[in-house]
Structure 1
Amino acid sequence: MDTITIWELAVLAAAAALVGFSKTAVSGANTVSLAIFAAVLPARESTGVLLPVLIAGDVLAVLTYRRHAHWPTLWRLFPAVAVGVLAGTVFMMWADDAAVRTSIGAILLMMAGVTVLRRRAAAAAADAGAGGGGCAASGADDEPPSVRSRAGRIKARSYGVLGGFTTMVANAGGPVMSLYLLSAGFRKLGFLGTSAWFFLIVNSFKVPFSVGLGLIDTRSLLLDAALILFVVPGAYLGKVCVDRIDQRLFERLVIGATALGGLQLLLR
């Protein structure tokens, strides 16, 4: 991190702005930021640098959607997520930069596949809603029945462990949890509010582990202090553009960029 050039810093700043944009416009777009950080910085250390940037974006998302979280679902997820974070911490204790780079590349490719499934599930849910006259939006006080069932609890634990592991190793839990919330039946406001609080709490929970692993230190925080400045304009741009962009095209570009980033890390 002592040898970052001005051009690399500019690329990291653009990636930080994309984090803010993803939090207010297109969830999952920050997987591209993950690939950029891992390509510019040593892969292992990049996860520690990116974490405070993500937390800054999470704060902006919570300020926007804080009243729409469904807390029973969050409390159900957190124990499984904690197990996944602990498993990811153990992995990071012995993994060198090459292992982390390979893991991030593989996780990015997996996340690209998860995002494709998420988009198909969302399209199917939209078609079902249109055919059945629509259904009530799930918000802070309206939990989908599928979440309360035994199968729903098992699914929550499975997604929670996987989300905790991927977010600890590669800050890439977003697509996993987005897929879970969509498959559970959450609609727009419930999805955004629950997701915003989930990532703020989980990413904050990861900080002591990242410090203990040496991923966050004084030098990384100095770099974060510069990069976080770009999260706010990125979030503002997202709010301005969210109703104007072609969502389908943009998600295709995000999936493609994520897959390319994963391949680049695997072949590096």
Structure 2
Amino acid sequence: MDTITLWEFVALAGAATLVGFSKTSVSGANTVSLAIFAAVLPARESTGILLPLLIIGDLFAVYTYRRHADWATLVRLFPAVAVGVVAGTVFMLWADDAAVRVSIGVILLVMASVTLWRRRAASRAAGEKKEATEAGQDQAQGHSGARLKAGSYGVLGGFTTMVANAGGPVMSMYLLSAGFRKLGFLGTSAWFFLIVNVAKVPFSVGLGLIDGRSLLLDAGLALCVIPGAFLGKAIADRINQLLFERLVIAATVVGGAQLLLR
């Protein structure tokens, strides 16, 4: 961090702006931010520097979409997410930069592939609109099926958000597969990540990922999050549902590929 060049700082500032944008618009775009941070900084340390910036973005997202959260979904997810966060913390005790990048990249691409497969299968089976089909499919699964899906996505989301702040794509895949419309998607994910990211702070401090030097860099990047958040809100109001879902999935694939190819 003491040897960051001007152009590297500009790249980090652009990634911080994208953090704000992703929090109020296309959440999967945040994987591009984490890839930039991991490219400029050591991948492991970059997660601690990115976390406070994510929390700033979460605050804007909650303020913007605070009335659209589905709290039943959040309550169902949090126990499994806690397990994933603990598992991610244990993983970070021994993982090096290469292990972090490869693990998260593989998870992102697998989750995007599974979601695309489920959506196409549901569309063929019912011949209805995608959103209505998936919502009906989830209802047909019953309570045990819903708990199982929430548990599996929750553990993966907790693990990926702790290891590389990459829980956004995993939870995006869950919310899309559950049939959430745009505002419900944004409101539920906003509250989810504000609560989870704040809870991660003590773990990150304990791992040495957040310290005085990292916070100093955060102070220089924090203002970049704000214009991105306002830009995301303006664009989100103009994106239709189908385009919104395609952008989320595309951003997930791009972010996962970047981590694997670096």
Q: Which one has the bigger helix percentage?
A: 2
**Aligned in 2, Cα 1:73/1:41: closer, same or farther, shift over 3 Å?**
same
- C-alpha RMSD over aligned residues: 2.9
* Cα deviation code 1:198-255 (max 9, x no counterpart): 0110011000000011100011001111111111111112223332696588557635
Contact 1:71 1:194 in 2 (8 A): yes
State how far apart, in whole Å, the 1-side matches of 2:231 and 2:212 are: 30
Q: 119-128 vs 214-223, which deviates more?
A: 119-128
The reply to whether residue 187 of structure 1 matches residue 171 of structure 2 is no
Shift of 1:116: 4.8
State how far apart, in whole Å, the 1-side matches of 2:177 and 2:239 are: 26
TM-score of the two chains, using structure 1 as the length reference: 0.84
State how far apart, in whole Å, the 2-side matches of 1:200 and 1:38 are: 22
State how far apart, in whole Å, the 2-side matches of 1:255 and 1:92 are: 22
State how far apart, in whole Å, the 2-side matches of 1:83 and 1:157 are: 10
Equivalent position of 2:57 in the other structure? 57
Q: Which amino acid aligns with 2:100?
A: S
Contact 1:16 1:53 in 2 (8 A): yes
Equivalent position of 1:108 in the other structure? 105
* Cα deviation code 1:14-66 (max 9, x no counterpart): 00101111112212101011111011101110000011111111111111111
* Cα deviation code 1:160-180 (max 9, x no counterpart): 111111110111111111111
2:190 partner SS: helix
Identify which of 199, 203, 207 aligns with 2:197: 203
Superposition pairs of residues 13-52 of structure 1, within 5 angstroms: 13-52=13-52
State how far apart, in whole Å, the 1-side matches of 2:115 and 2:140 are: 17
Q: Which amino acid aligns with 1:261?
A: Q
Which ranges of structure 1 fall in alignment gaps of 5 or more residues? 139-143
State how far apart, in whole Å, the 1-side matches of 2:35 and 2:26 are: 17
Equivalent position of 1:141 in the other structure? none
Identify which of 151, 167, 177 aligns with 1:173: 167
Shift of 1:101: 2.9
State how far apart, in whole Å, the 2-side matches of 1:218 and 1:127 are: 54
**Aligned in 2, Cα 1:154/1:121: closer, same or farther, shift over 3 Å?**
closer
Contact 1:32 1:254 in 2 (8 A): yes
Figure out how many residues of one structure are paired with residues of the other and give that number.
Answer: 256
Equivalent position of 2:153 in the other structure? 159
1:4 partner SS: coil
Contact 1:73 1:147 in 2 (8 A): no
State how far apart, in whole Å, the 2-side matches of 1:195 and 1:161 are: 16
**Aligned in 2, Cα 1:122/1:42: closer, same or farther, shift over 3 Å?**
same
State how far apart, in whole Å, the 2-side matches of 1:79 and 1:237 are: 33
Shift of 1:105: 3.1
State how far apart, in whole Å, the 2-side matches of 1:2 and 1:133 are: 50
Equivalent position of 2:80 in the other structure? 80
Equivalent position of 1:89 in the other structure? 89
Shift of 1:130: 8.7
* Cα deviation code 1:67-125 (max 9, x no counterpart): 11111221121111111101111111222xxx233322331243134235445656777
